[in-house]
Structure 1
Amino acid sequence: MKKHLYKSMVELTRNPIYTKVIKSFTTSKISRKMIPSFSRFYQINQEEMEGHVNKYQSLNEFFSRKLKTGMRPIAKDVIVSPVDGLLSQMGIVTEDATFQVKEKHYSLKTMLGLPNTTNRYLGGTYMLFYLSPKDYHRIHSPISGNVVKRWALGKYSEPVNQMGLLLGKEPLANNYRLVTEIEQIGKRMAMVKIGALNVNSVHPTHHQKEIETGEELAYFSFGSSVILLFEKGMVEPSFTERTVPHYVKQGEEIASWI
């Protein structure tokens, strides 16, 4: 019973009425009474949190909590994980601009929405990270560089958990998403932050033209996923398809430069 209740609060569907009701409750002060139970149920590490569990005024505020300084050391001179989460899939973007997740083909053109940008990542590497309700839900930059473009796409969101990926209508390519493209030494990387509940579930926090490795870019107010795209010949993943899925923490090495 408790499992289904908590899942309903962190995984929305496209039903606008249901979405509005759940969002209203999780952002209300009434929901703060559920925070201790929510924390215990998902075995959230309270020692890492910036504030005490009683500090948070709503379940939604607790969900997007910050961590104490130094809780996520940043690996040097490599590409690092942007989030705490499961590196659930990785591979090569095909020449017809598709990539595969859970035996389903996704259109890169649909996900990015910009033809010229799509062509840049043909033959490149993609990495998909899934954040569960227990995870830290702030998103950080995997590299240092210049932010060359930011844009948003999509109107509604379906769940992006394992079942949603299997049964949803290409949620990774159609959900509401914020895309950030970063350039370093003439090569570009795109980070696609994918909403899992509604159009307000991804919140940008970085608005400058330059960014450092490990610097915060945005946060999720509900559970979701992040996809990284790298140009062909840009990086060498630290994992193989045989070692994925693999749980990583923000700041840990996920690839090296070529």
Structure 2
Amino acid sequence: MTLAKLFSLIQYPIPHHLLSRLVGLLADCRIGWLKNLLIRAFIKRFKVDMSQAVESDPRVYPSFNAFFTRALAAGARPLEDGLLCPADGTLSQWGAIDHGRLVQAKGHRFSMTELLGGDPRAATRYQSGSFATVYLSPKDYHRVHMPLAGTLTEMVYVPGRLFSVNDATTRHVPGLFARNERLVCHFETEHGPMVLVLVGAMIVAAIETVWAGQVTPQSGRVERVRFDRPIHLAKGAEMGRFKLGSTVVMAFAEKVDFDALSGKAGSPVAVSMGQRLGGEPGTSAAPATADDEATASAD
């Protein structure tokens, strides 16, 4: 048995939510010496580059969570053209949604219906579209931005487990992103429907959005909020943030030509927020070879 497999197995009996809530309390601690100790240790362990932050002095942050969700200095992430990457991290999978199913990792797929909290009607919109998955590691900038301009129509909180979402767990826990607690954000764009799914993970204390503040954790049932008053967010604008790291799955009803990723299929790709991933959905038909190459990144 590999270490990765063993790591995934020992997570099943762990009290995910209790552990995460306890870590969340520690991360919100405002005792000066303790929060400074945590921040300094984290910067050293993960080699965090504070020169890109609006506030580069780690002692100024009132809590570890404030440091972790720090804002970047103006110009640190210039916005390119086309479809933008929503966050710093690792692009683990991308490509076509095949009959409503997405690639998680080699040998593992999950359904759009499951990801969206058991909503087959919403999932039908993405039956033949495209998707991309970005994993945010502990060292990354943890605010999530809009890959396209869009108008928020519905937000869905989906309860679930809190498995780790690192590479080892992704390769060994079936349906991981459709099992973990998550926040589903539906948008309408000029390029068709778009959904951003913010996936919780072990020791992720909470997920926040710019329109509702902290959203998770909540009750143990699916909760839907419709927005009658339009909430429009510009391309590249912040839409949410993670208090400790996790994953973003984005999906589009129209095909995306991931031209900026040509030749990179087969292994994870380091990405930055604002970086071009490809053309805007539906602006050009993605060639078969691009879809085949993207699918090959997991199969």
Under TM normalisation by the shorter chain, which class is it? 0.7 to 0.9
SS at match of 1:209: strand
In structure 2, the partner of 1:253 is 276
| Corresponding residue to 1:81 among 70, 73, 85 | 85
> CA offsets, 1:50-108, max 9 Å, x none?
112111122222111111122111113x111110011111122111x221222212121
Structure of higher CA gyration radius:
2
State whether structure 2 residue 231 is matched by structure 1 residue 227.
Answer: no
* TM superposition score normalised by structure 2: 0.76
Change (3 A) 1:21 1:146: closer
- The one-letter amino acid paired with 1:153 is V
- The one-letter amino acid paired with 1:48 is Q
Q: Is the 8 A contact 1:182 1:190 kept in 2?
A: yes
Offset at residue 34 of structure 1 (A): 2.1
Structure 1 spans left out of the alignment, 5+ residues? 1-10
- The one-letter amino acid paired with 1:216 is E
State whether structure 2 residue 261 is matched by structure 1 residue 239.
Answer: yes
Deviates more, 1:197-206 or 1:135-144: 197-206
Structure 2 spans left out of the alignment, 5+ residues? 1-10, 213-229, 284-299
Offset at residue 212 of structure 1 (A): 0.4
In structure 2, the partner of 1:54 is 59
Find runs of 4+ consecutive structure 1 residues off by over 6 angstroms.
Answer: none
State whether structure 2 residue 180 is matched by structure 1 residue 175.
Answer: yes
| Corresponding residue to 1:185 among 190, 196, 208 | 190
Q: For 1:115 and 1:189, how far apart are their aligned partners in 2?
A: 15
In structure 2, the partner of 1:132 is 137
- The one-letter amino acid paired with 2:67 is F
Aligned residues: 245
Matches within 5 A, 1:21-170: 21-29=22-30, 30-51=34-55, 52-76=57-81, 78-95=82-99, 97-103=100-106, 104-113=108-117, 114-170=119-175
Deviates more, 1:100-109 or 1:191-200: 191-200
> CA offsets, 1:112-157, max 9 Å, x none?
1211110111121110100000000000001012222222112431
In structure 1, the partner of 2:293 is none
Q: For 2:263 and 2:130, how far apart are their aligned partners in 1?
A: 12
Offset at residue 179 of structure 1 (A): 1.5
SS at match of 1:158: coil
Offset at residue 170 of structure 1 (A): 2.3
> CA offsets, 1:13-66, max 9 Å, x none?
643433333222222132331212211221111111111211112222211111
Deviates more, 1:153-162 or 1:216-225: 153-162
Q: Percent identity?
A: 25
- The one-letter amino acid paired with 1:229 is A
* TM superposition score normalised by structure 1: 0.87
Q: For 2:141 and 2:19, how far apart are their aligned partners in 1?
A: 25
